[in-house]
Amino acid sequence: MNEEINKLEDYILSCFESDHDSVELLRKLEALESLINPDSIDQAELIGEAYEFISTVYNAEKSYFYYQLYYSQNGYSIGWCDENNSPPYYSGAIGDFRNEAPVSDLIIKLGYEKCQEIDSKARQWLEKNGLKYNLFHNEKG
């Protein structure tokens, strides 16, 4: 499976820099999505980036979802904690994955309600796959 993941990653990475067949790219992204598991969670970052930054496959909802999976396993908190209270500009506590620039842009596009729906789905995925996460500073889910 690692070889298959590597081939998919290589193809997707090449699409950031060159023209590509959007149907083929979408097929490869969906294939990589189907392979995401606790042992390959780092690929979630690439999927999130591709869905956000490659215009031919742009999907803000999928991007936000995969960023949350990735960041949740890399020391960031994922509990909703907007300290700004000025939608659509979210400002979480230090360590909140939503403070990351690409994610912050997605919140503006998606809106708070949609992001919170996706948050619930991401937490369900994490729990179903036995992965721990931080809701808020040192609070484990």
Integer CA distances (angstroms), 28 to 8, 35, 46, 57, 69, in order: 6, 11, 12, 11, 19
Residue linked to tokens 């606790």: 38
**Average pLDDT over the chain, rounded to whole?**
93
pLDDT, residue 18, reads 86
Q: What's the whole-number mean pLDDT along residues 25-41?
A: 94
Residue 1's pLDDT is what? 67
Sign of CA dihedral 18, 64, 61, 109: negative
Least confident range of 27-36, 44-53, 83-92, 94-103: 83-92
The pTM (predicted TM-score) of the whole model is: 0.93
pLDDT at 32: 96
62 vs 87, which has greater pLDDT?
62
pLDDT band per the 50, 70, 90 thresholds, residue 86: confident
